[in-house]
Structure 1
Amino acid sequence: MRNPRKHGAASGGSHERGTSAPGVSGENADGGYNAGMAVFSYIIGGIIVWSLIGWGLDFVWGTRWIVLAGALLGAIGGFYLSHMHGLTSSRKNAGERPAAGGPSEDGDTNAK
C-alpha cells in the first residue's frame, strides 16, 4: 500500500511536507495561505460585484439603499461559496481525515 505522506517522492520533490489546508493540494507548501486568499477573494469579489449591481439598480430606480443590500448579499454569498468549496473548515485535512486533536506522537519531549 502506498504511504499517503510520501507524495513528494512521487512528484519529484526532495522533501516531505505535512498536511495542507483544506481544499489545497498537498504539493503546495503555502496551503493555508492559498486557502485564506481564496476565501478573501470570494468575499471581496462578491462584495464588489453585488455592490456594483446594487449601484446600477440604485441609479436606475432612484434609490440609495440597494447598494448596501448588494454588498451584504455579496459578502454572504462569498462566504457561502468558500464554505461549499471546503475552504473554511479547519478540522479537516485535504484527504478528508479529521485533524489530529490529541497529544503528539513524539511523547512528552516538549513538556516542562
Structure 2
Amino acid sequence: MRNTRKRGQADRSALTRGVSAPGVAADNTDGGYNAGIAVFSYIVGGIIVWSLIGWGLDYLWGTRWIVLAGALLGAVGGFYLSHMHGLTSSRKNADERHAPSAPSQDGKDSAK
C-alpha cells in the first residue's frame, strides 16, 4: 500500500515533534518514569561498560584496581550524561518557573 500523506506534511510533522533526550517529552517536560529509566540505564550502562574495560586492562597488566576505577568512572559518566541531557534538572511549574523551595520573603506560605 502507498502512503497517502504528502512528503511535505511528513517533514513538517517531524519538525514539530522535535528531537529531545531519552525520557524527555518534545515540549521539554520531564518524562517521569521514562526519565528515571533513562538515568538508571545511563548509570548502570556506564558502570558495566567501564568495569569491563577496567577488567580487561587488569587482566592485561596484572593489576587489581583498574576495574574499580572503571566502575567509578562509569558511574560519574552516567550522572554526567543524564545531567547534560536534562534528565536530572529541577522540576518546573507549567509557566516554566522553578517551583518554590523556600518560604516567601514576607514569611507567608505560598501553597494554595
Tell me, yes or no, whether TM beats 0.5: yes
> What is the SS of the residue equivalent to 1:35?
helix
Counting aligned pairs with the same residue, the percent is 78
Maintained 8 Å contact 2:51/2:70: yes
Tell me by how many angstroms 1:24 deviates. Answer: 1.6
Quote the RMSD (CA, aligned, Å): 2.5
Matched pairs, number: 79
Work out which of the two has the higher radius of gyration on C-alpha atoms and give 1 or 2: 2
Question: Is there any run of 5+ residues in structure 2 with no aligned partner, and where?
Answer: 1-22, 101-109
Taking the aligned partners of 1:63 and 1:79, their CA distance within structure 2 comes to: 27
Greater length-normalized contact order (CA 8 Å, ≥ 6 residues apart): 1
| TM-score, normalised by the number of residues in structure 2 | 0.61
Question: Is there any run of 5+ residues in structure 1 with no aligned partner, and where?
Answer: 1-22, 105-112
- Residue identity matched to 2:91: R
Tell me, yes or no, if structure 1 residue 86 matches structure 2 residue 86.
Answer: yes
CA displacement, residues 57-84 of structure 1 (integer Å, 9 cap, x when unaligned): 0000000000000000000000000000
Query: Superposed, which structure 2 residues align to 1:25-44 within 5 Å?
Result: 25=25, 31-44=31-44
| TM-score, normalised by the number of residues in structure 1 | 0.61
Stretches (4+) displaced over 6 A: none
Taking the aligned partners of 2:63 and 2:76, their CA distance within structure 1 comes to: 22
Paired position in structure 1 for 2:96: 97
Structure with greater helix percent:
2
Tell me by how many angstroms 1:25 deviates. Answer: 1.1
